[in-house]
Structure 1
Amino acid sequence: MTQVHHQAQLPFARERVFAYVNDYRSVPDWMFGLNKFDPLTEQTSGVGSTFDASMKLGPKTLHTKIKCTEWVENEQITLESIDGFSVSMSWSFADADAGTELSVVFDYQLPGGLAGRALGAVIEPAISGVIKHTEAELLKGVTGSDAA
């Protein structure tokens, strides 16, 4: 599995940042390449909530079903794939002097063989750009959100 870590400082209260990230309707607005993030359960937040997601990276669209496996209000959200592209994302929120310290751990596993190597050639060089784009869009979204 490949693991990517990122930390960012956002100049907003932790509760506001958490509320924005936790709202499934906002996820396609800030997560790079994500063009589908639809709930599969009535529950759309917290442990057990499940989503159908699609992400376009270069010429390839990756599909996965993900489930929230850890959720602590204003502190932690962890999503793990249960079908499709193997991925897990963990978002941690902490108070910082100037707002919120956001820590993200993104794990993914590419398929083996020729298909995995081809997909890796698309994904791996783009990761730092994806992270920078996602951070900028997240900042823009939280700035414009009415989350309290």
Structure 2
Amino acid sequence: MKLEKSIDIKTSPEKLWPLLYKKDNLMKWHPKVQEFDYIGDQKSGIGAKFYMVGKSDGRLMRSVCEITEWQENKKFTISEIWGMTKKFETRFTIEPAKDGSRLTIFWDTVMPYWIIGQIMLWMMSKQWVEMSDKMLQNIKKLAES
């Protein structure tokens, strides 16, 4: 499943950037994250790893992810290296916009289990759209306050 959502935010890319990857900020805007901790001393940049627990439909989902792309104040990509998916990538991009910045989230997810995985993605797709909208609205509120 691939999904792309954008929002315009009245702030500079430099002020928006730390809201996206710093632990304390992420916990404020991500509606599903229950726990989040970096693994090791590296907290940003390519190679930084983190452990995350999210809750969806009453179930806890655990994963270990790694930052695989990093261009400060522009974009970064997170790839799941351990968890319930076959492929899970999330990319955040920031572009200049008329009154500030445009933030875009890209999701690229492939579930295991062949046809069963496809059915699972289809069932979850509405939730992902709603979650993406909520995440973007939360980030906008934090950035513009």
Tell me the TM-score range normalised by the shorter chain.
0.7 to 0.9
Q: What's the CA shift string for 1:38-96, capped at 9, x where partnerless?
A: 10120111111100011111122221100011111111111101111331111111111
In 1, the alpha carbon distance for the partners of 2:45 and 2:114 equals: 36
| Contact 1:58–1:122 (Cα < 8 Å) also in 2 | no
In 1, the alpha carbon distance for the partners of 2:113 and 2:84 equals: 12
Once the two structures are superposed, the pairs formed by residues 41-52 of structure 1 within 5 Å of their partners are: 41-52=40-51
TM-score normalised by structure 1 residue count? 0.86
Question: Tell me, which stretches of 5 or more residues in structure 1 are unaligned?
Answer: none
| Contact 2:54–2:60 (Cα < 8 Å) also in 1 | yes
- SS, match of residue 27 in structure 1: helix
Please report how far the alpha carbon of residue 14 of structure 1 lies from its aligned counterpart in structure 2 after TM superposition. 0.9
User: Could you say which residue in structure 2 is the equivalent of 1:38?
Assistant: 37
Moved more, 12-21 or 116-125: 116-125
Question: Tell me, which stretches of 5 or more residues in structure 2 are unaligned?
Answer: none
Percent identity between the two aligned chains: 17
Once the two structures are superposed, the pairs formed by residues 34-73 of structure 1 within 5 Å of their partners are: 34-73=33-72
In 1, the alpha carbon distance for the partners of 2:105 and 2:73 equals: 14
In 2, the alpha carbon distance for the partners of 1:51 and 1:120 equals: 24
In 2, the alpha carbon distance for the partners of 1:30 and 1:119 equals: 25
What root-mean-square deviation, in Å, do the aligned CA atoms of Structure 1 and Structure 2 show?
1.9
Once the two structures are superposed, the pairs formed by residues 1-148 of structure 1 within 5 Å of their partners are: 2-86=1-85, 87-112=88-113, 116=117, 119-120=120-121, 123-144=124-145
TM-score normalised by structure 2 residue count? 0.88
**CA spacing shift, 1:43–1:61, aligned 2, 3 Å:** same
| Contact 2:10–2:99 (Cα < 8 Å) also in 1 | yes
**CA spacing shift, 1:116–1:62, aligned 2, 3 Å:** farther
Q: What's the CA shift string for 1:87-124, capped at 9, x where partnerless?
A: 11111111111100111111122231687467446522
| Contact 1:52–1:65 (Cα < 8 Å) also in 2 | yes
In 1, the alpha carbon distance for the partners of 2:135 and 2:77 equals: 17
In 1, the alpha carbon distance for the partners of 2:126 and 2:35 equals: 23
Q: Which amino acid aligns with 1:52?
A: Y
- SS, match of residue 130 in structure 2: helix
Please report how far the alpha carbon of residue 5 of structure 1 lies from its aligned counterpart in structure 2 after TM superposition. 0.6
Q: Which amino acid aligns with 2:142?
A: G
Deviation beyond 6 Å, 4+ runs, structure 1: none
